[in-house]
Amino acid sequence: MGTQPHIGIKPEYLAMLYRTTGDLDGLKLPKRNRHGKVKMSEVLLFKKEFENKNEGG
């Protein structure tokens, strides 16, 4: 819906990663605040890094 970033990862899987390792394919997940929210700017940067890493091989 709208302009939400999408990287093809299920929310349940991301939540589990936040609880366990805190990274996805070697990239640190964006920091969450005390309410569990992430800044959109950090999400967009993470998405760009994630896509660049996966395109590069």
pLDDT tens, N- to C-terminus, the chain (57 residues)? 455 566 788 888 888 999 999 999 899 999 999 998 999 999 999 999 999 988 875
CA distance 22 to 27: 9
Look up the pTM and report it.
0.74
Q: What is the CA radius of gyration of the chain?
A: 11
**Residue 1's pLDDT is what?**
46
Contact, 32 vs 18, CB < 8 A? Answer: yes
Q: Which of 30, 24, 27, 23 is nearest to 8 (CA)?
A: 24
